Copies of this chain bind each other. A is one copy, B any other.
Amino acid sequence: MIKIGELSKVTGCSVQTIRHYEKEHLIASAERSEGNFRLYDEAAVEQLLFIKHCRSLDLSVPEIRQLLALNRSPGAQCDDVNRMMDRHIEQVEARIQELTRLNEQLRMLRRSCSNRRTVEQCGILRNLSATPVSSG
């Protein structure tokens, strides 16, 4: 049994994050020592790593909660997992497209000012004052 500081080191999650996950019921309430310190076993390490892996893929806490619930019903069909992943992938791709458009506009804007101009003649500020291109 390890304490929260060690769990933090082993998993790379901060101590506060671990306590936060407990409060959010992503991980079960830990056993306590006589002095009221949280105690964790190997299974807790595994579960926290699972959560960390999910978070590194930008899966949200509710999504992870759903995955954990499915993990607990091994006989169920995979359809729910797959639907969630598809939706999540869609959202990531939409965000990439959005940022890509944004990036083009920013570069265009940036080109409108050469260094050593004064603010008064600045193309960036002038363009920002003009009506934005519709982005819908």
A interface residues, Cβ below 8 angstroms from B:
46, 49-50, 52-54, 56-58, 67, 70-71, 73-79, 81-82, 85-86, 88-89, 92-93, 95-96, 99-100, 102-103, 105-107, 109-110, 113, 115-120, 122, 124-125, 128-132, 135
Question: Once the chains bind, are A102 and B58 in contact (CB under 8 Å)?
Answer: yes
Q: Which residues of B contact A119 (CB under 8 A)?
A: 70-71, 73-78, 81
Q: How many copies of this kind of chain does the complex include?
A: 2
Q: Which residues of B contact A128 (CB under 8 A)?
A: 50, 53-54, 67
Q: Which residues of B contact A110 (CB under 8 A)?
A: 82, 85-86, 89
Q: Which of B77, B88, B100, B122 contacts A96 (CB 8 A)?
A: B100
